[in-house]
């Protein structure tokens, strides 16, 4: 590999390899190597993370680049049990961009920040000549106060249950259709939303959270594979238990997509011990953002570092880490 390809940003295999072999290798330190959704710093008191947003189209059903730029960073903090508090916002804008569109984006960021109880405390604005960037790119970086300690993708163990918070694949499916200018059911829209309110309820309910991760780029397949590798476990998933909306199923059948690799922006996975599963489901289902929550699988002694997908017909196959170009610029 001499140059960077689109697959290096896919949230899957090639992306992971680039991060390991280049960034982790040179930046090597204990915190980075934990490879969590957000870094845990200051003796476990704070979570710290960053994310850049390049989505196209800028405005889509269920959100826009502004809403996404707050959800993305705040959700990575929330997934570490942290309440989002302070964010920075850096924008790179192409010359000629409409001021009214920029204001729409900023207002949408403002409204999403309010849902998290977070504020933008610093920022940067760069304008580049026409053609140097496609309209607008946004970076947000965030600090959260950890309210629940010990969440880690490296400590999932045998017999833990895996729960998904909602139906999967809606962000990836709707962005793709919109970008291609395809007509589609109004019932399909991105799941883009802030997860802190849901996480806060889980913490208040005193649930012992082993791991949580939002299934963004690379979808549910990426998270399950990352967990299997990081915790050196086998995860067995019952395919028919995974909630998938009729609309997403339709899109996948029509275009040959795999719902497990489609991106989500407000749907997450949580691993808990069996004793905590009923309460977890009860709490999740009581909130609109996670009303479709289901137990989809469990950790077994099967194939270490592998994810096994079991069909209702008794057959099974490995669910691999996604690879290839997938859908670029979905976030
Ligand atoms: Mg994440």
- CA dist., res. 36 & res. 94, Å (int): 33
Tokens of 216: 């963004």
How many whole angstroms from 217 Cα to the centroid of ligand 1?
A: 8
How many whole angstroms from 252 Cα to the centroid of ligand 1?
A: 23
How many whole angstroms from 72 Cα to the centroid of ligand 1?
A: 7
How many whole angstroms from 131 Cα to the centroid of ligand 1?
A: 30
How many whole angstroms from 36 Cα to the centroid of ligand 1?
A: 8
Report phi then psi at 127, rounded to 5.
Answer: -115, 130
Q: Residue 1: what pLDDT?
A: 65
The CATH code that applies to domain 161-318 is 3.90.650.10
How many whole angstroms from 243 Cα to the centroid of ligand 1?
A: 20
Domain ranges of the chain: 6-146, 161-318
How many whole angstroms from 100 Cα to the centroid of ligand 1?
A: 30
Q: Return the CATH class of domain 6-146.
A: alpha beta
Give 313: exposed, middle or buried? Use CB within 10 Å, 0-12, 13-18, 19+: exposed
Beta strand 161-164 with 234-238 is unpaired
Q: Which residue, among 214, 160, 176, has the nearest Cα to 192 in the 3D structure?
A: 214
- CA dist., res. 181 & res. 183, Å (int): 7
How many whole angstroms from 216 Cα to the centroid of ligand 1?
A: 6
How many whole angstroms from 290 Cα to the centroid of ligand 1?
A: 17
331 residues of the chain, pLDDT tens digit each: 689 999 999 999 999 999 999 999 999 999 999 999 999 999 999 999 999 999 999 999 999 999 999 999 999 999 999 999 999 999 999 999 999 999 999 999 999 999 999 999 999 999 999 999 999 999 999 999 999 999 999 999 999 999 999 999 999 999 999 998 887 777 899 999 999 999 999 999 999 999 999 999 999 999 999 999 999 999 999 999 999 999 999 999 998 999 999 999 999 999 999 999 999 999 999 999 999 999 999 999 999 999 999 999 999 999 999 999 888 899 9
């Amino acid at each position: 590999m001499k140059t960077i390809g689109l697959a290096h940003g896919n949230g899957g295999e090639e992306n992971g390899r680039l991060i390991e072999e280049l960034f982790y290798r040179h930046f090597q330190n204990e915190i980075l190597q934990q490879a969590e959704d957000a870094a845990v710093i200051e003796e476990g008191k704070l979570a710290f993370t960053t994310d850049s947003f390049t989505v196209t189209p800028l405005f889509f059903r269920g959100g826009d680049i502004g809403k996404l730029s707050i959800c993305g960073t705040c959700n990575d903090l929330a997934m570490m049990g942290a309440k989002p508090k302070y964010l920075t916002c850096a924008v790179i804008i192409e010359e000629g961009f409409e001021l009214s569109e920029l204001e729409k984006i900023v207002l949408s960021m403002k409204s999403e920040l309010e849902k998290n109880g977070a504020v933008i405390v610093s920022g940067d604005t760069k304008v580049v000549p026409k053609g140097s960037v496609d309209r607008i790119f946004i970076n947000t970086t965030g600090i959260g106060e950890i309210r629940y300690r010990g969440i880690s993708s490296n400590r999932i163990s045998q017999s833990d249950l895996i729960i998904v918070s909602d139906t999967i694949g809606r962000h990836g499916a709707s962005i793709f259709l919109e970008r291609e200018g395809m007509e589609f059911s109004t019932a399909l829209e991105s799941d883009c939303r802030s997860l802190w309110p849901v996480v806060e309820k889980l913490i208040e309910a005193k649930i012992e959270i082993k791991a949580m991760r939002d299934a963004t780029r690379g979808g549910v397949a990426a998270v399950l594979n990352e967990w299997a590798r990081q915790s050196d476990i086998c995860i067995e998933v019952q395919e028919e238990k995974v909630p998938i909306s009729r609309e997403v199923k339709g899109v996948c059948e029509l275009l040959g997509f795999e719902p497990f690799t489609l991106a989500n922006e407000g749907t997450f996975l949580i691993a808990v011990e069996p004793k905590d599963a009923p309460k977890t489901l009860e709490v999740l289902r009581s909130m609109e953002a996670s009303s479709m929550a289901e137990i989809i699988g469990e950790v077994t002694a099967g194939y270490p570092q592998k994810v096994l997908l079991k069909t209702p017909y008794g057959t099974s196959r490995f669910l691999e880490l996604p690879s290839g170009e997938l859908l670029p610029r979905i976030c």
